[in-house]
């Protein structure tokens, strides 16, 4: 259980970074941290004590870990990469327009 709570703590560190940081790159990295914590959480759910990776071996019959969360994490890693690339593109364009990554200086829109 402590592992799950640590995982949730890592998640909250990511949330903290994403909502308080003033730097576009730091925000992107914070979202990356949130992604890591969720991925780790899902794989922690799959683990069975003493189990092996879910790959069949000829002639052996062993307990294996739950493959579904691993499949989900595979998808989620790819999605995170997509979001990161898109946000990096946005950040570069914003840098081109404003010459800074600092959102306190950007904020042309109010609200």
- Region of 50 (left: φ > 0; alpha: ψ -120 to 50; beta: rest) is left
Name which of residues 21 to 40 contact another protein (CB under 8 A). 21-36, 38-40
Q: Binders of another protein: how many residues, by CB under 8 A? A: 97
According to the binding rule CB under 8 A, does residue 60 interact with another protein?
no
First to last CA, the chain: 40
Nearest distance in Å: CB 103, another protein: 8
Site string for another protein, 5-24 (x = CB under 8 A): xxxxxxxxxxxxxxxxxxxx
Kind and range of the H or E element at 63?
none
Name which of residues 61 to 80 contact another protein (CB under 8 A). 64-79
Kind and range of the H or E element at 46?
helix 24-46
Nearest distance in Å: CB 61, another protein: 10
Nearest distance in Å: CB 60, another protein: 12
CB atoms within 10 A of CB 1: 5
């Amino acid at each position: 259980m402590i592992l799950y709570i640590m995982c949730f703590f890592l998640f909250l560190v990511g949330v903290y970074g994403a909502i308080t940081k003033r730097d576009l790159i730091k925000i992107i990295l914070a979202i990356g941290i949130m992604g890591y914590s969720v991925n780790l959480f899902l794989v922690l759910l799959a683990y069975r004590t003493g189990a092996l990776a879910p790959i069949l071996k000829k002639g052996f019959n062993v307990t294996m870990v739950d493959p579904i969360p691993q499949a989900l994490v595979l998808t989620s890693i790819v999605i995170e990469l997509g979001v990161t690339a898109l946000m990096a593109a946005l950040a570069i364009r914003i840098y081109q327009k404003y010459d800074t990554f600092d959102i306190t200086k950007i904020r042309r829109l109010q609200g």
